[in-house]
Structure 1
Amino acid sequence: MEITITLRGTLKKYFGQDKERKVEVPDNCTCDEALQTVGINYKEIPSFGFVAVNGMRVMIYDRLSPGDELKAYSRISGG
């Protein structure tokens, strides 16, 4: 199935010049599996924050559907 992956914040550097990517992933895959498809292992990125699907924050192991937009955000900090 095809989904769109967008990286936000400091994670954008992992896509180089691309803002987002349309990718083919296995049916019923998780957000984690989709990110691994494009070479992103969230466990190895200290600044990794959270993911959202179609504008709603979800858990990294939630399942995706065809046409979903997966956004990965870096940690947000400030004061």
Structure 2
Amino acid sequence: MEITITLRGTLKKLFDGDKERKVEVPDNCTCDEALRTVGINYKELPNFGFVAVNGMRVMIDDRLSPGDELKAWSRVSGG
């Protein structure tokens, strides 16, 4: 199935400057599995924040549907 993965914040650098990509992922895959499809292991990224699907914050192990937009956000920090 095809979904769109959008990276936000400091994660954008992982797509070599591109903001988003349309990708083919296995049917009924999780957000984690979709990110791994494009080479992103969130457990290895200290600045990884959270994911959202179609504008709603979800858990990393939630399942995706065809046409979904998965956004991955970096952790926000300030002083």
TM-score range, shorter chain: over 0.9
Percent identity over paired residues: 89
State how far apart, in whole Å, the 1-side matches of 2:35 and 2:26 are: 12
Question: What are structure 2's unaligned runs of at least 5 residues?
Answer: none
RMSD, matched Cα? 0.6
Equivalent residue number for residue 39 of structure 2 = 39
Equivalent residue number for residue 54 of structure 2 = 54
Question: What are structure 1's unaligned runs of at least 5 residues?
Answer: none
1:6-39 deviation per Cα after TM superposition (whole angstroms, max 9, x unaligned)? 0000000000121100000000000000000000
State how far apart, in whole Å, the 1-side matches of 2:45 and 2:57 are: 19
3-state SS of paired residue (1:12): helix
Shift of 1:62: 0.1
Moved over 2 A (4+): none
Code of the residue aligned with 1:16 in structure 2: it is D
**TM-score (normalised: structure 2):** 0.97
3-state SS of paired residue (2:78): coil
Equivalent residue number for residue 67 of structure 1 = 67
Number of residues paired by the alignment? 79
State how far apart, in whole Å, the 2-side matches of 1:52 and 1:19 are: 15
